[in-house]
Structure 1
Amino acid sequence: MACPIEVTVNLLGDKWKVLIVRNLLLGGTQRFGELNRGIDGVTQKVLTQQLRQLESDGLVARKIYPEVPPRVEYSLTELGHTLKPIFEAMHSWGTSYLELRGA
């Protein structure tokens, strides 16, 4: 049987995936450009790869609108929204860490 922590790390272990989910949790549905601007340092290629993986894992939904040019929006799925308590715990721990370190 797979270790639950290992499963979680495999799904979110990449720095960019965590930041993508954070932005979608905080900002709701976003277009590619919004995500790209909201994540400092990520390249378009890496963002595309990570979004595809999150979509494949069932955490992110991609909606394409039949317009010219096509409009594409990304949002968390119902399953993706279940990650919220994990991100709240990470925020709380990070805040405490920064306070303890005097940052």
Structure 2
Amino acid sequence: MCPATFAFDVIGKKWNLPILSVLTNNKSVRYNELKRLLPGITGTMLTNCLKELTEHGIVHREQYFEIPPRVEYSLTKSGEELAPIIESIVVWGRNNIEMLQDKMK
């Protein structure tokens, strides 16, 4: 597989980039806070995306055995390497969104 195809397959899914963007801006985030910061995502979709990103080694899941149970998500070293790339994508989108939307009308 082409390395670029692999990278876009991992981050290019509908919710993966927004999840990574939130985790880039926060050291660690609890599940419910993450869900609140991503309007429109369902609980099932968030769970599936986090599981996939964890399996790819980009997101770390830390479960604390306390009552009530607490789970926090953060970026791994590999995920942190994506942070400047994600920020560049966000900046590019912010700078070009209006122009691109106007062309699509």
TM-score scaled to structure 2, two decimals?
A: 0.89
CA RMSD of aligned residues (A): 1.6
- Give the 3 Å change call, closer, same or farther, for CA 87–65 of structure 1 in structure 2: same
Deviation, 1:27, is 1.9
| CA distance, structure 2, for counterparts of residue 36 and residue 70 of structure 1 | 17
Partner in structure 1 of residue 72 of structure 2: 73
| 3-state SS of 1:75 partner | strand
Structure 2 counterparts to residues 88-99 of structure 1, below 5 A = 88-98=87-97
- Give the 3 Å change call, closer, same or farther, for CA 10–102 of structure 1 in structure 2: closer
| 3-state SS of 1:82 partner | helix
Partner in structure 2 of residue 42 of structure 1: 41
Q: Which amino acid is the alignment partner of residue 36 of structure 2?
A: R
Number of equivalences: 102
Moved beyond 2 Å, runs of 4+: 98-103
User: Identity over the aligned pairs, expressed in percent?
Assistant: 38
Unaligned segments of structure 2, at least 5 residues: none
The answer to whether the aligner puts 1:56 opposite 2:81 as a matched pair is no
Deviation, 1:99, is 5.6
Deviation, 1:34, is 0.4
Deviation, 1:101, is 5.6
| CA distance, structure 2, for counterparts of residue 18 and residue 102 of structure 1 | 20
| CA distance, structure 2, for counterparts of residue 94 and residue 31 of structure 1 | 27
Deviation, 1:19, is 0.7
1:11-50: CA deviations, max 9, x gaps? 1121211111000001220000000000010000110000
TM-score scaled to structure 1, two decimals?
A: 0.90
| CA distance, structure 2, for counterparts of residue 102 and residue 4 of structure 1 | 30
Deviation, 1:102, is 8.7
| CA distance, structure 1, for counterparts of residue 82 and residue 55 of structure 2 | 16
- Give the 3 Å change call, closer, same or farther, for CA 99–13 of structure 1 in structure 2: closer
Larger deviation, residues 63-72 vs 92-101: 92-101
